[in-house]
Amino acid sequence: MKFTELKDKDIAELQKLLKEKKSLLFETRLKLKTMQLTNSSELRVVRKDIARINTALNAKKDTK
C-alpha cells in the first residue's frame, strides 16, 4: 500500500483500514508464535502499512 493511495481517502476510511490492519497484525503475530507463519516478512509489511495509515491520518487532522 502506497502513501499516495492513502492520502486520497477520508478520515473514516483510514480509521477503518487502520482497525483492519491492527487485527491483521495480531493474527500475524499469533501465527508467528504458533509456527504457522511461513513468511515472517509479512509482519514487517503490516507494521509499515499501519505506520503509513497513521501518517496519513495525522496529515489529515493537521490540515483541518
Q: pTM of the entire structure?
A: 0.90
Each residue of 8-26: pLDDT tens digit? 899 999 999 999 999 999 9
Residue 64's pLDDT is what?
A: 66
Q: At what angle do helices 41-63 and 11-33 cross, to 10 degrees?
A: 160
Average pLDDT, the chain: 93
> Which ranges of 9-40 would DSSP assign to H, the alpha helix?
11-33
